[in-house]
Structure 1
Amino acid sequence: MTTLDQPLTDREALPVELVDESGRAVGACPVAQAHRAPGLLHRAFSVLLFDEAGRVLLQQRAAVKTRFPLLWANTCCGHPAPGESVVAAAEVRLAEELGLATTLTEVGTFRYQAEDPATGRVEHEWDHVLIGFLDTDVPRADPAEVADYAWIQPDALRDALAAEPQRYTPWLAEVLEIAEKANRRTGK
């Protein structure tokens, strides 16, 4: 079998790292199992990129996503493999989803749980927020991952989240808050 004949990786079968209430690793299971109701608390990451004008890069999740398809989210997100560096995993996902590379910095964590009413799947995540800055690169979105992307000022995004929360993922507001605080501290 040649490389082109091999099936694509089933992302739902990949392992995620289960964590306790303090974010300490306690085991592993496949992505699909972690997202079955009521959801198993596991490690995840959310990346938010800023540009020189202070805008943030959002992506609209692809229609084939098993959780929150077609909703607008932060630049990219995913799960590190058990024991994998969060930053390294985030850099790989950023390249896979949007064809981008930049230095990422972890700026905080938060925990959330949300059920997708459309699919019945559950996010129960210990989420590491990472930020980065993009000067000139133009995203090259993988259509299997990303339906669309857009740059938006944080104030306009907050207004949109308040006016039409159903258009956005349930974790986006917290990611934005943590990322913006860190961005203000760095003075970029």
Structure 2
Amino acid sequence: MSPQGPGTAVDVDDEVVLLDPDRRPCGTAPRLAVHGLDTPLHLAFSSYLFDAAGRLLVTRRALGKRTWPGVWTNSCCGHPRPGEDIALAVERRVDQELRLALTDLHCALPDFAYRATAADGLVENEVCPVYVARAVGDPDPDPAEVVEWRWVDWESYRQAALAAPWALSPWSVDQMTAFGQAAHPLTAALRAVG
């Protein structure tokens, strides 16, 4: 499902999957209510999208976002709905937020998890598998989600995460560390399945 028009918030009443300390589903909660000062562990995902030239799509979160507004980050993040396959959730959210289709979607960091606290005390606490994919075309983002976007060189973004972590979302910085010295995660993922 795509937004009905620019600035349209999508799926504001989505439920997120709550997880126990062993990362097993243990319930659900409304997405808008789950993020607070004591956010329970829940399931999410991150994605890193690349164009045909191998450049990474980075996005700047809209200023109206509740968590980390105006911060540069990876291509797209979201939460799978209860019972929804995570890869399908990635495709759904990328379509909603960026109006992009994907090819070569692969899970690159299946066990990634993080906890981060924003300056206002808001907490993210997620088990967040990280996906990589090829994007078809340029994004046409929902302005309620993304205020700016750019295609950048993978190594340049990795170096920015190391040199100026305060300038990027904390999950993206942690994911760059988890990717390590990988020359290009999409190439590595395609090689692994090829």
Q: TM-score, normalised by structure 2?
A: 0.83
CA 1:31–1:77: 2 relative to 1, 3 Å = same
8 Å Cα contact 1:34-1:41 kept in structure 2: no
Gaps of 5+ in 2: none
Q: 2:117 aligns with which of 115, 118, 122?
A: 115
Superposed displacement of residue 31, structure 1: 1.7
Instruction: Deviation per CA, 1:83-132: give whole Å up to 9, x if none.
Output: 11111111111011111011322222311000111x43210000011110
Partner in structure 2 of residue 133 of structure 1:
134
Partner in structure 2 of residue 77 of structure 1:
77
Q: How does 1:147-186 map to 2 (within 5 A)?
A: 147-176=147-176, 177-178=178-179, 180-181=184-185, 183-186=187-190
User: How many residues matched?
Assistant: 181
- Runs (4 or more) in structure 1 with deviation over 6 Å come to none
Cα RMSD for the two superposed structures: 2.4
Partner in structure 1 of residue 107 of structure 2:
106
Identity among equivalent positions (%) equals 36
Superposed displacement of residue 56, structure 1: 0.9
Partner in structure 2 of residue 124 of structure 1:
125
8 Å Cα contact 1:46-1:76 kept in structure 2: yes
Quick one: which amino acid aligns to residue 120 of structure 1? G
Gaps of 5+ in 1: none
